[in-house]
Structure 1
């Protein structure tokens, strides 16, 4: 009897985590990763931070894959999923047969409305970009270098979207010496993710550090020899050298339209990340949505889902025990304006009570979310303050985990916290 084969479509966080986990679990069949991006798999969280630094190479952030004769990496996009024949069809005509397929093609960035239809679309495409891939980062670096060499000055950069990606990018580009203008449609857009107090701190730092902060939408835009002019809903006309679109993402599911999978704000899966209406199928990462829950778009969450999907596949191939249901985790960490920021658990501002703490003798801030039963459901920490030992963040992590487990939520090992 031949060994089973597993095809993983997508070699981002979820796909590569699944591949590594399958080998650790003892799966010794054919393992094929389909990577449609062209570049080697890499840590995508570095595109708006580490990779913006001059001289940083892709090799420094590449993802480690299983290194064995039965693991293959194919650089091609998937075109169609044939669940009846259990085959993935690639754009180059290749047919990949599988016993199990993991769908991990992630999400694609939203662009400014009407950008492709603009009269100056070619000029705009050179200086207007999302920031989600290595190629996007290269485009940004080239524009910044061109402005410096041709005009002998720092670049004027407009970032449209002021949530986490926009905030991180604004901080990084400011640190590189550029004039950054941050445009967000809502007041204090980070409140939903960070709570009132810490979001207000982020907003204050934006206003102190950046060249301009606007609570507005982009109503129109056009390219000229002077740059790109943005017409904002508050009446401002802003001319910049580069526009970065940080407007969120949509699940990358177009190649699945002809399949029987249930596509509803992503690929619908059960609690073990099995696809609905398609035996042998699984989904993980930014495009996976567990029935009854919202999608979570974050690198650490994708890693955790990829690992869990691998355990479900291994169980269904009768190699290991049932891993049980996957429980979402929204935990992650980052740096903003020189301070570490940890989000532990999934804040629900409209459901839970927000409690703000300021430990004595330091600049740290801690925001806790508690349920009606006064159990900690999430925690956000800003700064590296210590309240005795251990540090504030791990203490809050344990509290958030304990409260979440009482609600049936578990934060898997490997989350970026």
Structure 2
């Protein structure tokens, strides 16, 4: 039986980190609990940043509730710089050393910067990931720029585009691919969201990339596309993905790379040789874990629900004392987005699907449920303004039901199986 921990360190003062800390206390852990965060802010909620915060409906202070009895030592504005597995010590940027009996790595992700540093440093060029990013971009939008240019065909780019149109700000959205949101939603639903964006006034440019930026006095003045077109703008948002925060683990001996920190089904971090790193766990966006709903294929997801669920599982296993008492992380990935007056919800992972069917509603109504299949079974389901139907399909994904899983529902159209 492993000795009960007396000192637990959580690196990442995030949704996952705070959730784990709360779960540890709820489960009776009474020892020393330290949360390390590289931002100066207490843990806060990120989803509102690209929506309500930019619209001015919320302030950028989306601090998460913290129970008064958490009894945690928050080390904010401090980066973890090194992990010594042998000594069981985390080193901080100020030289401090934090010994631990159990360690949770929940360092998450950061926005991928614009690839040309001289352009990324121009005034008027933004990324959007954290609270400070939202405050800076929000101030720019309140100044009513003549046009905002967004780069990236993912959810953040479309959510910010939706916000700009709500504020009646002209916006151009540049997407490198032929179809937006295809990785998350597939080409049919991704294409539908692109149509909606255009109807709401977004200047959507597909298969379009920037050749260079032009500046005046250190401030963005215009962009030039690869086809030679010049677009004047003083505000550009690069929504071109994220990077997982694993650099501080270099040399620690863990299996950590650009894909994330690999962990096993019980949220235990793995060494480079595949062995369990004793006492070290991972949760949230930084973790790469075996998905039980996809034959244990390794997956890393940046979803609010997974961050909470994985943190709770990790906390339980940190206190389990024995591997036989640990529980498996069994969260079915889920995600939601609000844009252009639509609420989009997704369960499962649609990437790699080879079949698609609308099972409730219709594409032209913009109110529907669609399911995705792969190799003859249902792997994901998406809803647009029809979330009440999703629980049935969530159960079908968990049960590895054939595709399509449910036939003859009352409002189900005649199924037309299509390429995803």
Residue in structure 2 matching 1:369, options 367, 372, 386:
372
**Is contact 1:311-1:322 (8 Å) kept?**
no
Higher normalized strand content (fraction of residues) = 2
Report the Cα distance in structure 2 between the residues aligned to 1:403 and 1:128, rounded to whole angstroms.
Answer: 45
For 1:242, the equivalent position in structure 2 comes to: 235
| Corresponding residue for residue 340 of structure 1 | 343
Offset of residue 64 of structure 1: 2.1
TM-score by length of 2: 0.84
Matched residue, 2:414: none
Q: 2:83 aligns with which of 81, 84, 102?
A: 81
1:159 aligns with 150
Cα distance between partner residues in 1 of 2:88 and 2:67: 24
What's 2:66 paired with? 65
Residue in structure 2 matched with residue 203 of structure 1 by the alignment: 194
Report how far residue 74 of structure 1 moved: 1.2
Q: Corresponding residue for 1:284?
A: 283
Per-residue deviation, 1:211: 4.1
Does 2:261 correspond to 1:267? yes
Structure 1 match to 2:390: 393
Distance 1:185 1:362 in 2: 28
Distance 1:395 1:227 in 2: 49
Instruction: Give the distance between the partners of 2:171 and 2:91, measured in 1 at CA.
Output: 43
Q: Answer yes or no: is 1:219 the counterpart of 2:216.
A: no
Superposed, which structure 2 residues align to 1:108-127 within 5 Å? 108-114=110-116, 116-118=117-119, 122=121, 124=122, 126-127=123-124
Asked if the contact 2:50–2:128 (Cα under 8 Å) also holds between the matched residues in 1, the reply is: yes
Q: Structure 1, unaligned stretches of length 5 or more? A: 149-153, 386-390, 406-417
Mapping 1:182-197, distance limit 5 Å: 182-197=173-188
- 1:297 alignment partner in structure 2: 302
Does 2:237 correspond to 1:232? Answer: no
CA distance 1:333–1:380, change in 2 (3 Å): same
Pairwise CA RMSD of aligned residues?
2.6
1:84-103 to structure 2, matched below 5 A, reads 84-103=86-105
Question: When the two structures are superposed, what TM-score results if normalisation uses the length of structure 1?
Answer: 0.85
Quick check: 1:135 aligned with 2:170? Answer: no
Q: Matches of 1:352 and 1:328 in 2, distance apart?
A: 23
> How many residues get paired?
385
Aligned equivalent of 2:316, options 311, 317, 320: 311
What is aligned with 1:144?
141
1:353 corresponds in structure 2 to 355
Cα deviation 1:168-224 (Å, max 9, x = unaligned): 111112112211110110011212312333222201012222341112122211222
Give me the whole-angstrom Cα distance separating, in 1, the residues matched to 2:35 and 2:150.
34
Cα deviation for residue 369 of structure 1 reads 1.5
The question of whether the paired residues in 1 share the 8 Å contact of 2:155 and 2:337 is answered with no
Give matches, 1:165-176, under 5 Å: 165-176=156-167
**1:359–1:54 distance in 2 versus 1, CA, 3 Å:** closer
- The whole-number CA distance in structure 2 between the counterparts of 1:251 and 1:110 is 9
Do the aligned partners of residues 302 and 2 (structure 1) sit closer, same or farther apart at CA in structure 2, a change above 3 Å counting?
Answer: closer
Query: What stretches of structure 2 of length at least 5 have no aligned partner?
Result: 272-276, 291-296, 403-420
Question: Which stretch shows the higher mean deviation, 101-110 or 274-283?
Answer: 274-283
